[in-house]
């Protein structure tokens, strides 16, 4: 358990909404908040709690307790005034006041969650105040003046981990929730928070621990433990390899959900690339002009369609030019296209283009959507129709738009999502984060060594034990378990050696 008490504003800054939450966690959370809290504001000008109102002596006691942090008096607070006796998980309405001036700072709801039934597994008190930086900061400053320490980023979660309430992968999932830019990324983070990833990895790790136990026992105590059967061992290692491989695959498939799918807009100059970008973003970000070659530099922004994050970029028009500045822009555009996941190839309705035009610009491994822009003269209702002329001989998806009149843009959004997901099922996925990924890869490497030597039939148990142990350690980095203790315990409990 931590010895100090920390506090921070738990709601994001500028989040709108009417309520801001301050979270206080640690051994003195209740005492500290109690010293600032009153159930009633009897007199508007002298807004103090019942007890302080009735007794100057008690007021002095409380004030000096708050000021000097005298532990005896702090613990005496609940006795001094019954209204200060917080009940766990029961919200109380009241007022936060400055114990120096006795001025009310805000009307609040206080929600105490006593250890261990709290987020950090310590005593936690949440103060729900009126949202507004000044009010929240004033309450925080009062807490700080009493000796509460400002929480470091992620410190509540770190405490939850240190206090054993959540494991490492859950702690990281919480960080991902805080950072999640989109609903879908959030869903994945949440399912991981429920412990799915840990379960899978922990199960694989347990298998390895039991195997290592067997190997080490076979080395040190051959008579009691008997010999290792390579077929069984290699089957077991194979199973854990499968777990690692599938977790890594999930990561690779869904990595885009954290970083954003890269979507590049390209095509000849003046076809409406920048206009389309602005329509998708629903704001003016890219410069639209009648002068071809305006977008020379790369313009990037974040775009969210149906909860899926994209990083969208507008590039210089592709054409042959002698202008050195434009040339640089075009080179940048090519690089950008190479680094993208999806490319929108924009062309102007009524003008011809060939599949060779596209192939000259876009590498064949990219997902391509052809956007036929400047379809202004279609009936005003419904989807825009395409002339066969517009996409002759191509099996690529085509969407007709009029960026000028903001039409066909929703269709384009739908098409982008279709192409991005490519039928992938996201809901049940469990996605490891970057650190998990490194641990998984290092586990996989060791386990593959072990597997190969087991399958070959020529292995020495010492080396095998090292590989398996490396695998266990790497997986333990995800679940937060350390290998040494487990294995010793198991050796002694299973083989009753040395009793």
* Binding residues vs ligand GDP (CB under 6 A): 269-275, 288-290, 294-295, 317, 373-374, 376, 402-404
Query: Which partner in Zn ion, ligand GDP, none is near 272 (CB below 5 to 8 A by kind)?
Result: ligand GDP
Q: What is the DSSP letter of 151?
A: P
Residue 202 annotated as lining a ligand binding site = no
Among ligand GDP, Zn ion, none, what binds residue 453 when CB lies within 5 to 8 Å by partner kind? Answer: none
Q: Closest residue to ligand GDP, Cβ-based? A: 272
* Residue 118 binds to Zn ion (criterion: CB under 5 A): no
- Least distance from C-beta 420 to ligand GDP, angstroms? 22
CA distance 394 to 398: 9
290 binds, among ligand GDP, Zn ion, none (CB under 5 to 8 A by kind): ligand GDP
3 state SS for 433-451: CHHHHHHHHHHHHHHHHHH
Helix (H, G, I), strand (E, B) or coil at 82: helix
Q: Is 397 annotated to bind ligand?
A: no
Least spacing, CB of residue 271 vs ligand GDP, in Å:
5
The nearer residue to Zn ion, 122 or 326, going by C-beta atoms, is 326
273 is in an annotated binding site: yes
Give the count of residues interacting with Zn ion (CB under 5 A).
3
In angstroms and rounded to an integer, the radius of gyration of the C-alpha atoms of the chain is: 31
Output the CA–CA distances (angstroms, integers) from residue 279 to 39, 284, 288, 496, in the order listed.
53, 8, 11, 72
Calpha distance 419→410 (Å, rounded): 14
Contacts of 456 (CB under 8 A, 6+ apart): none
Q: Is 294 annotated as a binding residue?
A: yes
45 binds, among Zn ion, ligand GDP, none (CB under 5 to 8 A by kind): none
CB atoms within 10 A of CB 395: 7
Nearer to Zn ion, 81 or 315 (CB): 315
* Pick 401 or 470: Cβ nearer Zn ion: 401
Residue 276 near residue 265, CB atoms below 8 Å: yes
Both structure tokens of 172 = 């990281």
Report the nearest approach of Zn ion to the CB of residue 331 (Å): 16
For residue 70, what are its two tokens?
Answer: 């005298």
By C-beta, is 234 or 274 nearer to Zn ion?
274
Q: How far is the CB of 413 from Zn ion (least distance, A)?
A: 20
Tokens of 194: 């429920």
CB of 435 to ligand GDP, least distance (A): 40
- Helix, strand or coil, per DSSP, at residue 403: coil
- Give the number of C-alpha atoms closer than 13 A to the C-alpha of residue 73, restricted to the C-beta side: 16
Of 147 and 269, nearer to Zn ion (C-beta) is 269
Rounded to an integer, what distance in angstroms lies between the CA atom of residue 438 and that of residue 435?
A: 5
Q: Is 274 annotated as a binding residue?
A: yes
- Closest separation in Å from C-beta 310 to Zn ion: 18
Task: Please pick, from the candidates 38, 128, 157, 274, the single residue that binds Zn ion as defined by CB under 5 A.
Answer: 274
**Of the two residues 77 and 276, which places its CB atom closer to ligand GDP in the complex?**
276
Of residues 120, 182, 295, 373, which one binds Zn ion by CB under 5 A? 295
d(CA 276, CA 11): 36
355 has binding-site annotation: no
Give the separation between CA 253 and CA 428, rounded to whole angstroms: 13
Report whether 271 belongs to an annotated binding site.
yes
Q: Pick the closest to residue 420 from 374, 463, 369 (CA basis).
A: 369
The smaller minimum CB distance to ligand GDP, of residues 50 and 410, is found at 410
Secondary structure (3-state) at 205: helix
Give the residue ranges of the annotated binding site for (6S)-5-formyl-5,6,7,8-tetrahydrofolate: 23, 126, 165, 499
Residues within the interface to Zn ion (CB under 5 A): 273-274, 295
């Amino acid at each position: 358990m931590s010895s100090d008490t920390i506090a921070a504003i738990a709601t994001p800054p500028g989040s709108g909404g009417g309520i801001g939450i301050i979270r206080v966690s640690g051994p003195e959370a209740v005492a500290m908040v109690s010293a600032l809290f009153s159930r009633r504001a009897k007199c508007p000008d002298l807004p103090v709690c019942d007890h302080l109102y009735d007794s100057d002596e008690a007021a002095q006691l409380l004030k000096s307790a708050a000021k000097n942090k005298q532990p005896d008096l702090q613990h005496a607070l609940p006795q001094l005034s019954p209204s200060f006796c917080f009940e766990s998980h029961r919200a109380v309405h009241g007022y936060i006041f400055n114990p120096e001036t006795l001025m009310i700072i805000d009307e609040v709801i206080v929600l105490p969650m006593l250890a261990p039934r709290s987020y950090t597994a310590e005593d936690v008190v949440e103060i729900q105040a009126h949202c507004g930086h000044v009010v929240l900061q004033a309450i925080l400053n009062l807490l700080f003046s009493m000796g509460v320490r400002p929480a470091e980023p992620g410190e509540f979660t770190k405490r939850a981990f240190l206090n054993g309430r959540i494991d490492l992968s859950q702690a990281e999932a919480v960080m991902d929730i805080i950072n999640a830019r989109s609903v879908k990324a959030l869903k994945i983070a949440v399912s991981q928070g429920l412990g799915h990833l840990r379960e899978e990895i922990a199960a694989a790790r347990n298998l390895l621990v039991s195997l290592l136990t067997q190997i080490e026992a076979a080395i040190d105590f051959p008579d009691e433990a008997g010999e290792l059967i390579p077929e069984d061992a290699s089957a077991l290692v194979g199973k854990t390899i499968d777990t690692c491989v599938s977790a890594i695959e999930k990561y690779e498939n869904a990595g885009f959900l954290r970083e954003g799918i890269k979507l590049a807009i390209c095509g000849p100059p003046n076809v409406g690339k920048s206009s389309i970008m602005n329509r998708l973003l629903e704001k003016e970000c890219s410069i639209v002009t009648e002068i071809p070659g305006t977008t020379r530099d790369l313009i990037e922004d974040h775009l969210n369609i149906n909860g899926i994050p994209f990083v969208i970029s507008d590039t210089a028009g592709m054409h042959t030019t002698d202008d050195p500045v434009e040339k640089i822009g075009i080179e940048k555009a090519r690089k950008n296209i190479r680094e993208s996941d999806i490319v929108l190839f924009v062309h102007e309705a009524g003008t011809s283009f060939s599949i060779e035009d596209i192939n000259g610009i876009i590498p064949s491994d990219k997902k391509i959507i052809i956007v036929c822009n400047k379809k202004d003269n279609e009936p005003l209702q419904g989807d825009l129709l395409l002339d066969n002329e517009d996409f002759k001989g191509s099996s690529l998806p085509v969407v007709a738009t009029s960026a000028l009149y903001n039409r066909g843009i929703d269709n384009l959004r739908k098409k982008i999502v279709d192409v991005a997901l490519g039928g992938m099922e996201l809901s049940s996925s469990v996605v490891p984060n970057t650190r998990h990924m490194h641990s998984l890869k290092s586990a996989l490497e060791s386990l593959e060594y072990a597997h190969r030597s087991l399958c070959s039939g020529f292995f020495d148990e010492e080396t095998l034990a090292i590989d398996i142990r490396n695998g266990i350690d790497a997986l333990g980095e995800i679940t937060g378990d350390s290998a040494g203790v487990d294995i010793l315990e198991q050796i002694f409990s299973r083989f009753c050696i040395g009793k």
